[in-house]
Amino acid sequence: MSTQARIADTLKAHHDAFVQRFGKSRPAPVPAPFEPTYTVPTNIADRAFTILGAGTLGRRIALMWLTNGETVHLFDTNPQTLEAARAYIEENLEPTIARLVPNGSKGILKTFPNRAEALENSWIVVEAVPEILQLKIDLLGELDAILPSDCILATNSSSYTTSEMYEKVVHKDRLVSTHYYMPPRANAVEVMPNAYTSPELVQFLLEQIPKHGLTAYHVRIESVGLIFNRIWAAIKREALFVIAQGVAGPTEVDSLMRDVFGGSKGVFDQIDEVGLDVALGIEEHYAQVRGVQVPPEAAAVLRSYVEQGKLGQKSGEGFYKYK
Ligand SMILES: NC(=O)c1ccc[n+]([C@@H]2O[C@H](COP(=O)([O-])OP(=O)(O)OC[C@H]3O[C@@H](n4cnc5c(N)ncnc54)[C@H](O)[C@@H]3O)[C@@H](O)[C@H]2O)c1
């Protein structure tokens, strides 16, 4: 099958899945004429794994790619965040290697307050900046214009697909979602291509990711929320609705969930860990995509906490208080 035919088929499959899930019609995508140019990098041992954004997830992604002797570059616009990320990684690296990559060795972490320096000699650049669509559209476009042609461009976005973000990206065949959870505790990584993404690139990542004690899952059809978050969103939404109605409080909901499902974390524990602002951004995006299918009460609860500065663990208080 020609590349153009593959792209047309994939776009149609993505479109049909979207309409089937959301019951919402949208114009069928017309495949743009596209000449694939991407070839996977061959010398990754001499190049850096680079992450932009050293917040909750960026520093954890860095931690995981330091478990096998490689070089990781980490950039953030906030120098204090960068320092906190380094401290987090130093504290967690040895136990993470011991637990997940038994023959692994400590990689080299380089933190950069300057983005151009961070990008130098990268074989992959993963963006983990806040979940703001326009920020991601602009950033991916800027990166595509300056990165070498074999460098993979990846996003950790939880709720935006790359086809919602690629309008300024010319080399769409190098763009992919790599969605991490809360490593080193949760070691799943979902790899989701858009219709233009090089199949060789996807295969390459599916082979590299397990070398770091992570489990890779291939999301075959572009899906808003990928796999896990699409299901988790329904659970979160109903839990927020329960507390909005005064049916029960967060502590009771979490305790009940633990009693029934086991495990150490309840729904509200996990929203606190992820960040209420991040959870709100995700919910607002679902509401925009799904329209009336999303009841507004869940977002209203999150918004009231966020407006009080209660963002979860990172601000010291969310549904629970932290020291
Ligand atoms: N928090 C989670 O549990 C979680 C899980 C999976 C995926 N994600 C996704 O990861 C991404 C980041 O989320 P997070 O929770 O780590 O956010 P966060 O707010 O904790 O961190 C974002 C970081 O990006 C920095 N930043 C802002 N603009 C930047 C720029 N232009 N260049 C470089 N750095 C910049 C900020 O200073 C901040 O440190 C989002 O797309 C989110 O959907 C988050």
- If one residue of 52, 76, 138, 181 were mutated to test the ligand 1 pocket, choosing by the most ligand atoms within 8 A of its CB, it would be 76
The CATH number of residue 147's host domain is 3.40.50.720
Domain count, the chain: 2
Q: How far is CA 191 from the centre of its chain?
A: 10
Give the phi and the psi of residue 129 in degrees, each rounded to 5.
Answer: -90, 170
- Mean pLDDT, rounded, for 10-37: 82
The predicted pLDDT at position 141 comes to: 98
Local confidence band at 32 (pLDDT 50, 70, 90 cut-offs): confident
Residues 13 and 162 in one domain: yes
Distances (CA, A) of 43 to 71, 171, 295: 13, 20, 49
The predicted pLDDT at position 292 comes to: 63
The predicted pLDDT at position 22 comes to: 77
Tell me whether residue 25 is in a domain. Answer: yes
Q: Which segment, 182-186, 298-302, 308-312, is predicted with the most confidence on average?
A: 308-312
* 157 Cβ below 6 A of ligand 1: yes
Residue predicted with more confidence, 278 or 124? 124
Residue predicted with more confidence, 322 or 31? 322
Domain boundaries, position 188: 3-218
Q: Which two tokens stand for residue 96?
A: 């993470």
* 78 Cβ below 6 A of ligand 1: yes
Q: Which segment, 10-24, 104-118, 253-267, 282-296, is predicted with the most confidence on average?
A: 104-118
Q: How far is the CA of 200 from the centre of ligand 1 (A)?
A: 28
Rounded percentage of the chain residues whose pLDDT exceeds 70: 99
pLDDT score of 24 more than 80: no
Residues 136 and 46 in one domain: yes
Tell me whether residue 30 is in a domain. Answer: yes
The CATH number of residue 290's host domain is 1.10.1040.10
Domain boundary among 168, 195, 218: 218
Tens digit of each residue's pLDDT (9 = 90 or more) over 116-164: 999 999 999 999 999 899 999 999 999 999 999 999 999 999 889 999 9
Tell me whether residue 320 is in a domain. Answer: no
